[in-house]
Structure 1
Amino acid sequence: MTPRSPSTRTRVPRAEREAQMLAVAEQVFATRGIQATTMDEVAELVGVTKPLIYDYFGSKEGLLAATIERARGQLLTALIDSWVANPTAPARDRVGGVVLAFFSFIDDHEQAFSLLRTEGALIGEASASVERIRQQTAKAFAEGLRTLPAFESLEPHRVTVMAEILIGGCERLAVWRSTHPGTSADEATDHVVTTIWDGLASVAEA
């Protein structure tokens, strides 16, 4: 990214400025690494002062956590939109649609996902944000499964367990894809649904 010169700095609404900061921070964290990223660099690229970023986020850890939280919100929106997109489609297709939404989101937000792959370097607020992503994503999967007639009569706990298994498979395959290029989002979806669906279908039939 090219730094903005001081002469180009203009007063913008807080929400818009925050979105700019987070978009830049996502790129810098992913490119430089968490430890090497400095608030000075982020401020220069956004075209604001470093104290302003501290005013918004409190610290570099706070900025990182907010960056991850932004990605979390976008992912949840994508999953929820997918669940409701085709309410009359067969259950397998609806599950596949959500899995595809997951992999497509990761492909479109590779920089944000790269931060999650380095979770060993995350501490405090940022680490908690990663865990919230897992919990919220699994919750979205579980709530979606409960809307399917084949599973709506199951105990909530059992549906929650199935959702954890489903999202766990998606996460591990997503990590694998990051180091083994060549598997498209559609192919990854087929792998997950084909592998897991027989298990879900057997529960539905029972």
Structure 2
Amino acid sequence: MTSRSPGARVRVPRAEREAQMLAVAEQVFSTRGVQAATMDEIAELVGVTKPLIYDYFGSKEGLLAATIERARGQLLSALIDSWVARPLAAPRERVHGAVHAFFSFIDDHDSAFALLRTEGALIGEASASVERIRQQTAKAFAEGLRTLPAFVGLEPRRVTVMAEILIGGCERLAVWRTTHPGTTATEATELVVTTIWDGLCSVPDA
């Protein structure tokens, strides 16, 4: 049995350390703002040296982009899981579930969503990451719609446009909720589904 001296530093696996850095960075960027946030503060809160963060991410912009990419992956997983969770449910219920997954994710990751709302301050790699979130979220909605009976065989471009409209409505309502508290994820979901989906579902027959 080996003993560890009282001041010895415990080596943390790279993946675990990276996750710690991203979680702290998400909080600092959203609280301080992208411009005001410093690598020194992030390093201190994580408990590592600033050079180590640069070694992982290359720059402050690289850290910000990685933070946004982390949120992108989590949101995408939530949407995909919602589509496959109830394959035999009615189309409206499946769309309702996906939209609710979107708003629930926003509520559970408000600091990550705060970063996306400050996109005017994002440049380069970070700005590109925000756009990837939009594209891949819309793609996830489109792929989900294509599994619905009424949309099978429909021209792919039309389904893509419908998904863009659907996710656009979700995004705008999500932003509106930040300045108008009190609308729950369930209420927001019903607003989107009633306003947008109930109109879109008639398009295949038009």
For the structure 1 residues 9 and 191, does the alpha-carbon distance in structure 2 shift closer, same or farther, using more than 3 Å as the test?
A: farther
**Partner in structure 2 of residue 144 of structure 1:** 144
- 2:166–2:197 CA contact under 8 A, matched in 1: no
CA distance in 2, matches of 1:96, 1:29: 32
Which amino acid in 1 is paired with 2:135? Q
Larger radius of gyration: 2
Name the residue aligned to 1:79. 79
1:81 is aligned with what amino acid?
Answer: D
In the alignment, which residue of structure 2 is the partner of 1:15?
A: 15
Is the Cα contact below 8 Å between 2:68 and 2:112 reproduced in 1? yes
Matched to 2:34, the amino acid is I
1:121-165 Cα distance to aligned partner (Å, 9 max, x none): 000000000000000000000000000011011011000000000
Q: Give the structure 2 partner of residue 197 of structure 1.
A: 197
Q: Deviations over 1:145-193 (max 9, x none)?
A: 0000110110110000000000000000000001100000000000000
- Deviations, residues 72-118 of structure 1 (Å, cap 9, x unaligned): 00000000000000000000000010000000000000000000000
Matched-pair contact (CA < 8 Å) for 1:96–1:193: yes
Following superposition, the deviation at residue 199 of structure 1 comes to 1.9
* Partner Cα separation in structure 1 for residue 59 and residue 150 of structure 2: 47
Q: Match of 2:45?
A: 45
Going from structure 1 to structure 2, the CA distance change for 1:151 and 1:25 (only over 3 Å counts) comes to: same
Provide the rounded CA distance (Å) in 2 between the counterparts of 1:35 and 1:8.
Answer: 35
Q: Deviations over 1:3-26 (max 9, x none)?
A: xxxx58521110000000000000
Aligned to 1:32: 32
Using the size of structure 2 for normalisation, the TM-score is 0.95
